[in-house]
Structure 1
Amino acid sequence: MPQSERKLYQFPISHYCEKTRWNLDAKGLSYDIENLIPGPHRLVTKRLTKGNRGTVPVLVDRGVVVADSTEIALHLERTYPSTPALVPVSGSERERVLELEAFFDETAGKHVRRWAYAHLFAGNADIAPLMFGDFPAPLRLLGRVLLPVIKQAIRKQYQLTPPKVEESRVKLLEGLERLEREIQGDPSRYLVGASLSIADIAAASLYGPLLAIEGSPYAARPGEIVPPAIAEMRAAVLARPAGQWVLRRYQEDRRRLARGYGARSEAANG
């Protein structure tokens, strides 16, 4: 497969990286993927961003380096305006899309991640297949070797203390309530207007890890043991309009846009 003009540096399991993949697919853009191991990834991202950023995703688009999932979404909209528009050009709808994208980026992104990691770790779940399943065999082995260090770093970085985890549970539920208000309880509606926007992509992708939707990076794996707290949260969210909305966005929008992703991912990993 010929190389694309774009390369995405990512963690396969990161919901911020899923958000960026979805934005790229929604714009109809081809891209290659380079999966990075947490920890050593900083050697790559710091080099790409000239020391300014140690996180993923990082997109290199025809020589232009863009870090942060929201900045990437806005870059794509500016750079490829003739492809399907994901942000209204002007007016109140544009303001709403940008405000909602920022709200879900913070509320769902930060708090879903902390809450989920805390309960995966508390339940002694084997997260290696989840984190490294898309890597070639040598890197899967390296990931397993580094896993204790990676988990220690996650505990410190995301502050997996009981008060912080409870704060995140409350915040992610508040975000679901906001989502339901915006769609007026109707899972068929988009957040703004009558078509997909970067606000929909942010909300659906960043809440995605809670739901294990088939075809998503978080789909259940054979033999996977789900910690009870996560299973209970999953069932509770799926029973409400917000959960059905996320499910619908994946089934109706993500699935349609993601054709060929698996082939790209495998090609990128050699």
Structure 2
Amino acid sequence: MPTTERTLYQFPVSHYCEKARWLLDAKGLPYTLQNLMPGAHRRVTKRLVATGRGSVPVLVDGDVTLGDSTEIALHLERTYPSTPLLPPPGPERDRALELEDYFDEVGVHVRRWAYGHIIQGGANLGALMFREYPAPQRWLGRLIAPLIKTALRRQYRIYAPQVEESRLKMLAGLDRLERELQNDPSRYLVGSSLTVADITAASLLSPIARPEGSPYPSRADMPPPKAMAQLAEELRARPAGQWLLRVYQQHRHRAQPQLQAA
């Protein structure tokens, strides 16, 4: 498969990278994935986005480079409007952007809560983070997993009080999702079709429900920590969880892009 002018620099298991992939896929845009190694990725991302935070995703689209999933969403909407993911200017567009911003923040708490239980629950972090990489990177990733745990704990403040705070913020996000949907899993967050609000909420909440088609489906060889498995079961019984499963089932399909591993 030939390369494209678009390259997404990413971590396969990052839910913010999942958001960026979904945005590109929803627009029908071909792109190449470039998997970066955690830690070493900062040398690449800071070279690409000199004023950025050194995080992923980073999208290079021709002459344009963007280092934030929201910036990516807005760029794609401006540049490729033929498959709209935002309503026309007006109250519905404003609401979609407000919900995108809100669930973007909820995603921060999902990440802290999930990593907190993965680290504290003794899950195989190396196998989880590096399963999509070629064999040499998988081997290296499992070797450096203890260092990654230490870095994650410090970077995301993964300590018991903060993890509990994130749990409450995450549950508040699920409650708001249900209010916005009026407890109807068949609805969309804004209007009658998929928007950036739906993509943001679904992708950033997907580590909790682990729907098929997400980077986090249930796998017998990688059982989640008990707290994560319990919340996933509870969520699937709620309108929010049923909405997540529906949106993934109906909208998260694409041809596999060319994969290059760094």
TM-score, normalization by structure 2: 0.97
Aligned pairs for 1:1-270 (under 5 A) are: 1-82=1-82, 84-107=83-106, 109-254=107-252, 258-261=253-256, 264=257, 267-269=259-261
Single out whichever of 128-137 and 190-199 deviates more from structure 2: 128-137
Q: Are the equivalent residues in 1 in contact too, given 2:211–2:244 (CA < 8 A)?
A: no
Which is worse superposed, 197-206 or 156-165? 156-165
Q: Partner letter of residue 123 of structure 1?
A: G
Q: Distance in 1 between matches of 2:127 and 2:212?
A: 16
| Secondary structure of 1:268's aligned partner | strand
Supply the distance in 2 between the matched residues of 1:164 and 1:119 (Cα, whole angstroms): 12
CA RMSD of aligned residues (A): 1.2
Q: Deviations over 1:225-269 (max 9, x none)?
A: 321111111111111000111111000111xxx3212xx25x323
CA distance in structure 1 between the partners assigned to 2:140 and 2:241 by the alignment: 35
Cα distance between partner residues in 2 of 1:78 and 1:225: 41
Contact 2:52 2:67 in 1 (8 A): no
1:215 shift after superposition = 2.3
SS of the residue corresponding to residue 184 of structure 2 reads coil
TM-superposed CA distance for 1:139, in Å, is: 1.1
Name the % identity.
Answer: 60
Please tell me whether the aligned partners of residues 7 and 61 of structure 2 are also in contact (alpha carbons under 8 angstroms).
yes
How many Å separate the matches in 2 of 1:250 and 1:3? 27
Residues of 1 paired with 2:52 and 2:59: CA distance? 14
Match of 2:81, SS state, is: coil
Residue identity matched to 1:17: C
1:221 shift after superposition: 2.4
Q: Report the TM-score when normalising by structure 1.
A: 0.94
Q: For 1:51 and 1:193, how far apart are their aligned partners in 2?
A: 36
1:143 deviates by 1.1
2: CA distance between counterparts of 1:232 and 1:138? 34
Aligned 8 A contact 2:9 2:36 in 1: yes
Q: Deviations over 1:37-75 (max 9, x none)?
A: 110000100000125330000000012101100110000
Mean Cα displacement is larger for which, 218-227 or 152-161? 218-227
Alpha-carbon distance in 2 for matches of 1:160, 1:21? 27
Runs of 4+ aligned residues of structure 1 deviating over 6 Å after TM superposition are none
Q: Are the counterparts in 1 of residues 128 and 222 from structure 2 also a CA contact under 8 Å? A: no
| Number of equivalent positions | 262
Unaligned ranges ≥5, structure 2: none
SS in structure 2 at match of 1:33: strand
Amino acid at match of 1:194: S
Q: Deviations over 1:143-178 (max 9, x none)?
A: 112211111010011111111111101000000110
Alpha-carbon distance in 1 for matches of 2:15, 2:35: 14
